């Protein structure tokens, strides 16, 4: 063990700032590549297929069960106050505002983010990215950008599916199983949910989460050490960082959107 | 760009996602019935609006005829100034009166219109003068306590000499 020196702190701060700067430039690069990426849409289509279609099952099933549980719990509490009809409103608001975007982003990080990190990390370990550079093909434009924009497109759509399936799940439990009046279920929901304040902000949130999770996954893969151990660590870091960032951003966004 | 077999599945996925969004907008947020009807604006001053909020319903005979567009404060008359957007399909006489009512015992508050008997109808930009404030529960309770306290005091005044006998 060597003695602690002030230069250690200096180095830590400097490398932390350098990493943040690198991440910011990486993000700016990806955003700037929006036009060229969309012009080669076949690459993005491939990613939408991989990230979206294959995530549909886990998102749909999770949404269904979250809707079931919300309706059961909500009914249990609301019927004490004699307002069991409000269960539809409760399910819809909690899904649209919070649970839909957050749970979808967390599931997406686990289901698709990890595979993105591992794929990019292995491409780097196998020197495929270096080979592309040798052939004057920009790996960021050819490999990273289509995945980034594919993820950013897919997550809001998956969130919408999650919410819709969750509300249907709530309807199944409260109307079909418990016997809440279906008219009151829907009309309470329609009276309390606002298109822009609730649905619009939820879609905005899911867009931010989609960009965040995909970006973290791609960056971790791109800067991973090109070894088996490095790729394993990068994959773990993707899940941890993406989940924490989603939850932290969710708090910030909620504070900005619903505080006034 | 060449077509591939995955186009179908990607298209299907995007369709499902957009369909879910449309379902949410129509079924849970009721987008259609919200704001596509043409409306006209009225203003009204209330002494106290209680818990009335923007977007609250305006009902006549229990039927939804419009919504509260904006709530402000009139610092010349020290009253609440409420702007209403009414559906152009419905017209009300000039001497109609507005009341702030509560749906159910503890439900949300809305504005009720009681039609008057004037020949002329309210037009866009008119001000409704006959208004009735929201019932504030605290005032009601303090009134009740005051009345019962006054009742007890007068009752006690009569009872006390009786007790002395």
The pLDDT confidence band at residue B4, using thresholds 50, 70 and 90, is confident
- Rounded to a whole number of angstroms, the distance from the CA of B12 to the nearest CA of chain A is 9
**Which ipTM was obtained for this model?**
0.80
High-pLDDT (> 90) share of chain B, %: 6
**pLDDT for residue B105:** 64
Q: What is the 3-state secondary structure (H, E, C) of chain A?
A: CCCCCHHHHHHHHHHHHHHHHHHHHHHHHHHHCHHHHHHCHHHHHHHHHHHCHHHHHHHHHHHHHHHHHHHHHHHHHHHHHCCHHHHHHHHHHHHHHHHHHHHHHHHHHHHHHHHHHHHHHHHHHCCHHHHHHHCCCCHHHHHHHHHHHHHHHHHHHHHHHHHHHHHHHHHHHHHHHHCCCHHHHHHHHHHHCCHHHHHHHHHHHHHHHHHHHHHHHHHHHHHCCCCHHHHHHHHHHHHHHHHHHHHHHHHHHHHHHHCC
Asked if residue A249 has pLDDT above 60, the reply is yes
Report the mean per-residue pLDDT for chain B.
81
Out of A59-63, A152-156, B130-134, which region has the weakest mean confidence (pLDDT)?
B130-134
Mean pLDDT for chain A? 92
CA A59/CA A159 separation, integer angstroms: 8
- For residue A41, the chain B residues in CB contact (below 8 A) are 1
Model pLDDT for residues A56-89, shown as the tens digit of each residue: 999 999 999 999 999 999 999 998 888 888 899 9
Which pLDDT belongs to residue B36?
62
> Is pLDDT at B161 greater than 50 in this prediction?
no
CA atoms within 13 A on the CB side of A124: 22
Terminal alpha carbon distance of chain A: 54
Distance CA B140, CA A178 (A): 38
Chain B hits for A156, CB-CB cut-off 8 Å, are 17
pLDDT at B1: 55
pLDDT in the model for residue B162: 43
- Is A186 close to B27, i.e. CB distance below 8 A? yes
Please tell me the distance from the alpha carbon of residue A10 to that of residue A255, in angstroms, as a whole number: 34
Identify the top-confidence range among A86-90, A149-153, B5-9. A149-153
Instruction: Assess whether pLDDT exceeds 60 at residue B39.
Output: yes
CA distance to partner chain B, nearest, from residue A72 (Å): 19
Nearest one of A157, A65, A185 to B27, comparing CA atoms: A185
**Assigned token pair, B24:** 């949410």
The 3-state DSSP class for residue B22 equals helix
Encode pLDDT of B70-118 as tens digits: 899 988 888 899 998 888 888 888 888 898 888 766 667 888 998 888 8
Q: Residue B119: what pLDDT?
A: 86
B8 contacts on A by Cβ (under 8 Å): none
What pLDDT is recorded for position A34?
A: 94
pLDDT computed for residue A49 by the predictor:
93
How many angstroms away from the CA of A136 is the closest CA of chain B?
A: 22
Any idea which residue has 């003695």 for tokens?
A3
> Model-level pTM?
0.77
**pLDDT average, residue stretch A139-165:** 95
Q: Is residue A133 pLDDT above 70, yes or no? A: yes
Task: Determine the pLDDT at residue B160.
Answer: 46
Cα angle, residue A226 at apex, residues A29 and A36 outer, rounded to 5°: 25
Band of the pLDDT at A220, cuts 50, 70, 90?
Answer: very high
User: Which of A104, A164, A205 to probe the B interface (max B CBs under 10 A)?
Assistant: A164
CB atoms within 10 A of CB A172: 15
Is A161 in contact with B20 (Cβ distance < 8 A)? yes
Q: Which of A41, A161, A167 sits opposite B16 (nearest CB)?
A: A161
Chain A interface, Cβ < 8 Å to B? 41-42, 45-46, 48-49, 52-53, 56, 92, 96, 156-158, 160-161, 163-165, 167, 186, 189-191, 193-195, 198-199, 203
Pairs of residues, one from chain A and one from chain B, whose beta carbons lie less than 8 Å apart:
81
Averaged pLDDT for residues A213-218: 96
Span A40-65, average pLDDT? 93
> What is the distance of C-alpha A173 from the center of its chain?
27
pLDDT surpassing 50 at residue A232 = yes
Tokens of A25: 């430039």
């Amino acid at each position: 063990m060597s003695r602690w020196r002030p230069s250690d702190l200096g180095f830590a701060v400097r490398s932390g700032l350098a990493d943040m700067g690198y991440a910011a430039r990486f993000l700016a690069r990806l955003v700037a590549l929006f036009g060229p990426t969309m012009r080669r849409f076949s690459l993005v289509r491939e990613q939408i297929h991989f990230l979206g279609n294959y995530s549909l099952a886990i998102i749909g099933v999770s949404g269904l069960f979250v809707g079931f549980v919300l309706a059961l719990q909500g009914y249990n509490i609301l019927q004490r106050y004699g307002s069991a009809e409000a269960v539809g409103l409760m399910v819809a608001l909690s899904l649209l505002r919070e649970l839909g975007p957050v749970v979808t982003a967390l599931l997406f990080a686990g289901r698709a983010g990890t595979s993105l990190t591992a794929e990019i990390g292995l491409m780097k370990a196998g020197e495929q990215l270096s080979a592309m550079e040798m052939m004057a093909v920009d790996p960021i434009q050819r490999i990273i950008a289509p995945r980034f924009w594919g993820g950013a497109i897919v997550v809001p759509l998956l969130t919408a599916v999650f919410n819709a399936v969750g509300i249907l799940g709530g309807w199944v439990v409260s109307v079909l199983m418990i016997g809440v009046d279906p008219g009151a279920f829907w009309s309470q929901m329609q009276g309390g949910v606002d298109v822009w304040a609730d649905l619009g902000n939820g879609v905005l949130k899911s867009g931010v989460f989609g960009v965040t999770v995909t970006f973290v996954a791609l960056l971790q893969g791109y800067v991973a050490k090109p070894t088996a151990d490095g790729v394993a660590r990068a994959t773990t870091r993707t899940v941890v960082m993406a989940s924490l960032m989603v939850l932290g951003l969710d708090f910030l966004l909620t504070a900005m959107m619903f505080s006034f | 760009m060449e077509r591939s077999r995955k186009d179908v599945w990607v298209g299907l996925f995007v369709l499902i996602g957009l369909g879910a969004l449309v379902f949410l907008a129509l079924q849970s947020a009721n987008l259609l019935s919200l704001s596509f009807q043409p409306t006209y604006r009225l203003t009204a001053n209330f002494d106290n609006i209680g818990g009335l909020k923007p977007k609250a319903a305006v009902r006549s005979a229990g039927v939804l005829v419009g919504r509260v567009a904006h709530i402000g404060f009139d610092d010349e008359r020290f009253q609440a100034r409420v702007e209403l957007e009414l559906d152009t399909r419905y017209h009300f006489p000039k001497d109609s009166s507005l009341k702030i009512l509560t749906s159910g015992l503890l439900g949300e508050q809305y504005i009720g219109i009681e039609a008057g008997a004037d020949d002329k109808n309210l037009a866009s930009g008119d001000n409704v003068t006959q208004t009735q404030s929201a019932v504030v529960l605290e005032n009601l309770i303090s009134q009740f306590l005051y009345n019962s306290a006054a009742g007890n005091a007068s009752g006690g005044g009569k009872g006390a000499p009786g007790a002395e006998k």
